Structure 1
Amino acid sequence: MAQPSVVVLDYGSGNLRSAVRAVERAGASVELTGDLDAAMAADGLLVPGVGAFEACMRGLRAIRGERIIGRRLAGGRPVLGICVGMQILFEHGVEHGVDTEGCGEWPGVVERLQAPVVPHMGWNTVEVPVGSSLFAGVAQERFYFVHSYGVRRWELVTNDRTTAPLVTWASHGGDRFVAAVENGPLAATQFHPEKSGDAGAQLLRNWVRSLKAA
């Protein structure tokens, strides 16, 4: 059986080679590109991100990345966001008094963590909801975080036609924030699975395997 194809979206956000290698090891054929057609055609799209919310959104819009994400999701095509690549999926990011519009796929504001020590850097446990497929086999493991901002409050109203996302939480210095979300074809992690050892590798394998069934 052919390997699932994954595009790691290149929009100028940091060193992407570690993400490429990690997804390759998870069993996918990976291309690093900002090409719209390639990103649309792949079985899975991985949206990385490091640095400031505003800079990432500027880079994403420069290649029409928000349209790529929206079009894939409209067709039920899988997308995985990592770190700031998760944050930009929310409605807004507020950094240093600057409010930047995100992709708006989920409600919520990315804001500075209210903890005694920021950034939150290092290994941490997560609170995984029942029914998670992304965390299958690793719900009790630790993952590697590097961030100063996160989604600290999020309430999603659903109706009979809407399935509530599975939201994974974590805490740092007494402050709770969203650590991951699974929402149909759209999933994301605040932590870096590619830097999270065996647990992160298993999480990426879980995602890559899901592409075969998508």
Structure 2
Amino acid sequence: MTKPHVAVLDYGSGNLRSAVRAMERAGAEVTLTTDRAVAQEADGLLVPGVGAYASCMAGLREVRGHEVIGRRLSGGRPVLGICVGMQILFSRGVEHGVETAGCDEWPGTVERLQAPVVPHMGWNTVEVPEGSSLFAGITDERFYFVHSYGVREWELETNNRTRAPLVTWAEHGGDRFVAAVENGPLSATQFHPEKSGDAGAQLLRNWVQSL
């Protein structure tokens, strides 16, 4: 049986080696690439991300990754964003008073967490909605987070013609934020599944097996 082909988008941000190894362990054939054609044609596209929102968006635009993401999604081809790779899928990010336009696949603002201690660093539980495919077979587990910013309000409106996205939430210091989203071909996690032990490995296997 042929393994699904996953392209890991190299736009100068993210724990690329960890992402590649995690995808391989999850059962995928993996290519680390800046090539738009390779990223476009793979069975799945992984968009990592670490660091500042503005610099990640600048790197993404430099390799025209935002176009690749948009074209894949318009054709129903799966994309998975991780950490800042999730954040850039929203409309905008605000850091230190500077607003940066994102990919605008989902409405919403990435902003500083309103918690006594920031960054949010370490293991945390998540609130998973019923029917989740990403979290299938995973219950009462913790995932590894490293971030100071997040999406604190889910803004996408749905209607009777479209299936509502599945939004997973987490809480840090009394502040709730989006921990994961499943929306048709587009999925994302604020936490790092590649650093989240057996639970994270199962989540990545679930995604790879869905390709």
Band the TM-score falls in, shorter-chain normalisation: over 0.9
In 1, the alpha carbon distance for the partners of 2:11 and 2:120 equals 25
* Residue in structure 1 matched with residue 91 of structure 2 by the alignment: 91
* Residue in structure 1 matched with residue 80 of structure 2 by the alignment: 80
* Residue in structure 1 matched with residue 33 of structure 2 by the alignment: 33
* Residue in structure 1 matched with residue 139 of structure 2 by the alignment: 139
Q: Give the unaligned 5+ runs of structure 1.
A: none
In 2, the alpha carbon distance for the partners of 1:162 and 1:106 equals 14
Displacement of 1:156 in angstroms is 1.9
In 1, the alpha carbon distance for the partners of 2:43 and 2:83 equals 21
Q: Which moved more, 1:10-19 or 1:120-129?
A: 10-19
1:117 aligns with 2:117: yes
1:170-189 alignment to 2 at 5 Å? Answer: 170-189=170-189
In 1, the alpha carbon distance for the partners of 2:160 and 2:138 equals 31
Displacement of 1:159 in angstroms is 1.4
Q: Does the aligned pair in 1 maintain the 2:15–2:49 contact within 8 Å?
A: no
In 2, the alpha carbon distance for the partners of 1:99 and 1:172 equals 24
1:205 aligns with 2:202: no
User: What secondary structure sits across from 1:131 in the alignment?
Assistant: coil
In 2, the alpha carbon distance for the partners of 1:116 and 1:64 equals 37
Q: Does the aligned pair in 2 maintain the 1:144–1:191 contact within 8 Å?
A: yes
In 1, the alpha carbon distance for the partners of 2:31 and 2:208 equals 14
In 1, the alpha carbon distance for the partners of 2:139 and 2:91 equals 27
Instruction: String of CA shifts for 1:189-210, please: whole Å, max 9, x gaps.
Output: 0000000000000000000000
* Residue in structure 2 matched with residue 165 of structure 1 by the alignment: 165
Q: Does the aligned pair in 2 maintain the 1:9–1:46 contact within 8 Å?
A: yes
How high is the TM-score relative to the length of structure 1?
A: 0.97
The number of residues matched between the two structures is 211
Q: Give the unaligned 5+ runs of structure 2.
A: none
Q: 1:150 corresponds to which letter in structure 2?
A: G
Instruction: String of CA shifts for 1:128-179, please: whole Å, max 9, x gaps.
Output: 0000000011132100000000000113211122211000000000000000
Q: 1:91 corresponds to which letter in structure 2?
A: S
Q: Does the aligned pair in 1 maintain the 2:165–2:183 contact within 8 Å?
A: yes
Instruction: String of CA shifts for 1:88-130, please: whole Å, max 9, x gaps.
Output: 0000000000000000000110000000000000000000000
Q: 1:112 corresponds to which letter in structure 2?
A: R
Displacement of 1:15 in angstroms is 3.2
Q: CA RMSD in A?
A: 0.6
In 2, the alpha carbon distance for the partners of 1:140 and 1:14 equals 27
In 2, the alpha carbon distance for the partners of 1:184 and 1:150 equals 21
* Residue in structure 2 matched with residue 12 of structure 1 by the alignment: 12
User: What secondary structure sits across from 1:123 in the alignment?
Assistant: strand
Q: Does the aligned pair in 1 maintain the 2:45–2:78 contact within 8 Å?
A: yes
Q: 2:89 corresponds to which letter in structure 1?
A: L
Q: Which runs of 4+ in 1 moved over 6 A?
A: none
In 1, the alpha carbon distance for the partners of 2:49 and 2:90 equals 14
In 2, the alpha carbon distance for the partners of 1:86 and 1:140 equals 23
User: What secondary structure sits across from 1:202 in the alignment?
Assistant: helix
Q: 2:42 corresponds to which letter in structure 1?
A: A
In 2, the alpha carbon distance for the partners of 1:199 and 1:99 equals 34
In 1, the alpha carbon distance for the partners of 2:193 and 2:34 equals 21
